[in-house]
Chains A and B, each alone.
Chain A
Amino acid sequence: DSGVTQTPKHLITATGQRVTLRCSPRSGDLSVYWYQQSLDQGLQFLIQYYNGEERAKGNILERFSAQQFPDLHSELNLSSLELGDSALYFCASSVAPGDKETQYFGPGTRLLVL
């Protein structure tokens, strides 16, 4: 158990819908990262927040957005969902950027878009 929690574990929805994935980092970790893992694209970095502020942006679609709240939990919002958005979405946390870059991954949310 990494100490990072993600909800829900599974999500089934339809094309065109909007969903919100939630992540609670390990106690004391200030940085949160979001990743998408699909069979054909591998593990893709989406976005990073540090202490409430966006720090880095990767291959995140405009239909996707994220935020980190004052209590440090984070949410990833996916809208206008397409079949290709079906994937595992991981959240990871670290104490701070540069901390040997050790990221602790949550168990993931498996999203299925029908």
Chain B
Amino acid sequence: GQSLEQPSEVTAVEGAIVQINCTYQTSGFYGLSWYQQHDGGAPTFLSYNALDGLEETGRFSSFLSRSDSYGYLLLQELQMKDSASYFCAVKNYGQNFVFGPGTRLSVLP
């Protein structure tokens, strides 16, 4: 089968750093994407990793280890507006996109 696992909820305070992990088991793997979705809104693309290592985009960074079937999203200098759900997604060999269940991040003042 194909599955992605993420923590269901994470809570942190403003200014802190938080890491959201994603482990995957899929039929083939091209890359790992991360999306942010605010309540009532549409998913917004954050990052994509096809190769091992860290990709940095402003306050957000994403990491991938293909050998461990593992990745994470790192959010630094947390702001209240970062409160949202975060989804990891894998593109597999069937060109399908499989999404994780999502992690709800709550940022407290």
Contact = CB atoms under 8 A, between A and B. Distances in A.
A45 B98 contact: yes
A101 B42 contact: no
B48 A101 contact: yes
Contacts of A2: 42, 44
A56 B42 contact: no
A102 B97 contact: no
Contacts of B101: 42
Interface residues of B, number: 21
A97 B43 contact: no
B95 A107 contact: no
B48 A45 contact: no
Interface residues of A, number: 23
A97 B94 CA distance: 13
Nearest to A101: B48
B97 A104 contact: no
B42 A42 contact: no
Contact of A105 (B33, B43, B91): B43
A55 B48 contact: no
A56 B31 contact: no
Interface in B36-54: 41-45, 48
B13 to A, nearest CB: 27
24 contacts: A2-B42, A42-B87, A42-B100, A42-B102, A43-B43, A45-B96, A45-B99, A56-B95, A58-B96, A58-B97, A90-B43, A92-B43, A97-B95, A101-B30, A101-B31, A101-B91, A102-B45, A103-B33, A104-B45, A105-B43, A105-B45, A106-B42, A107-B41, A107-B42
Interface of A: 2, 33, 42-45, 48, 55-58, 90, 92, 97, 100-108
Rank and list the top 4 A-B pairs by shortest CB-CB distance, nearest first: A56-B95, A105-B42, A43-B99, A45-B97
Interface of B: 30-31, 33, 41-45, 48, 87, 89, 91, 94-102
